[in-house]
Amino acid sequence: MLGLLILLGLLALLAFWAVGIYNGLVMARNAFRNAFAQIDVQLQRRFDLIPNLVETAKAYLAHEKGTLEAVTAARNAAQSGLAAAKAAPGDPTAMAELARTQGMLDGALGRLLVTVEAYPELKASQNMMQLTEELTSTENKVAFARQAFNDSVMAYNNRREVFPASVVAGMFNFAPAALLDIPVDKAEVREAPKVQF
């Protein structure tokens, strides 16, 4: 009888231990999903600023229609990449697509802002100065949100990979999460667009 009670006690401890690990994994997964939601907020702000930037530049850049169209197309692609990533935050394919489309947008914005440099009246426009200041601020917030997301993903992945949590993670299909990383081979993508006037 005493042996049965000891066995039941050990089974209860094992169950509490497994539940504790499971709950820790759920909290870590929710933390990186929340961190991704912050990226979403900042990227939406960025997407909202771009049409205003294009409209402000359009009057001055009549001969640069291709540049403006490239920014608009890159914005649309980046929004699609974000929508896919929102459906599966941490999914390696979704994170790679988001990074790729954001890189395209960064490149298009960079080309637009280099073009703006050639138009002193546009550069001096109060509207353009305000928009570029807001864009710079938003770019900084995106970078901070991305860093927080990557930190949360790393904490989650560490938690799910260490023993004995890896056993519980495997039993309950806690998949690894992917970082949101700018491709290393594209130096121009790594650089934030220069928006100082």
The predicted pLDDT at position 188 comes to 45
The predicted pLDDT at position 190 comes to 46
- Using CA atoms, how far residue 41 sits from 80, 95, 97, 99, in Å, is 15, 16, 18, 16
The predicted pLDDT at position 4 comes to 87
CB atoms within 10 A of CB 181: 11
The predicted pLDDT at position 196 comes to 55
Quick one: the chain helix, strand, coil %, rounded to 5?
80, 0, 20
The predicted pLDDT at position 61 comes to 79
The predicted pLDDT at position 193 comes to 56
**What are the pLDDT digits (tens) for 63-92?**
778 888 999 999 999 999 999 999 999 999
The residue assigned the tokens 């197309």 is 73
**What are the pLDDT digits (tens) for 139-167?**
899 989 999 999 999 999 999 999 989 99
75: enclosing H helix or E strand: helix 65-87
Q: Where do the structural domains in the chain lie, given as residue ranges?
A: 29-190
29-190 CATH? 1.20.1440.20
The predicted pLDDT at position 100 comes to 92
The predicted pLDDT at position 121 comes to 82
83-89 long-range contacts, Cβ below 8 Å, gap at least 24? 85/36, 85/180, 86/36, 86/40, 89/32, 89/33, 89/36, 89/37, 89/177
Point out the residues of the chain with pLDDT beneath 50: 184-190, 197
The predicted pLDDT at position 172 comes to 92
